[in-house]
Amino acid sequence: MSAVPFGTLKFALHLEASGMTASVASGAAEALADAMTGADLPTKRDLAATTTDLRTEIASVRTELKSEIAGVRAEIAATRIELKNDIELSRRDITIKFGGMTVLAVGILLTAIRYLPPHP
């Protein structure tokens, strides 16, 4: 941002002409000149550098987030496989227990039939 040409003497004279004292007009003119030409105002180059820095930081965060998301997806896939295996093991265990109970029930029924009194 280029400095705006500003005549402090001319401004102070205008202020004096409008009724301000010379010391107040001079101080106001100097304060305004400092504010308009202060070194803390950003230039186009400063803004461009900041924009470049921000874009670089955003790209870095984006890359980091993509990496973390990929990690989370891998964990989810591993958890799915683990759950699928657990479900298959549970299904097998239930089938075995149900089969054992069926065999036991048939054995009890056959034993009960054997000890029934004969039909007349």
Q: What is the CA 24 to chain-centroid distance, rounded?
A: 53
Angle between helices 22-36 and 8-17 (to 10 degrees): 140
Stronger pLDDT, 119 or 21, i.e. the higher one: 21
Q: Which pLDDT does position 86 carry in this prediction?
A: 97
Sign of CA dihedral 13, 17, 23, 29: negative
Which tokens go with 23?
Answer: 């010391």
Q: Which pLDDT does position 39 carry in this prediction?
A: 61
Q: Which pLDDT does position 100 carry in this prediction?
A: 96
Checking if the pLDDT of 1 tops 50, the result is: no
Grade residue 6 by pLDDT with cuts at 50, 70 and 90. low
| Alpha carbon separation from 100 to 72, 83, 94, 96, 106 (Å, rounded) | 42, 25, 10, 6, 10
Specify the DSSP element, H or E, that contains 86: helix 44-114
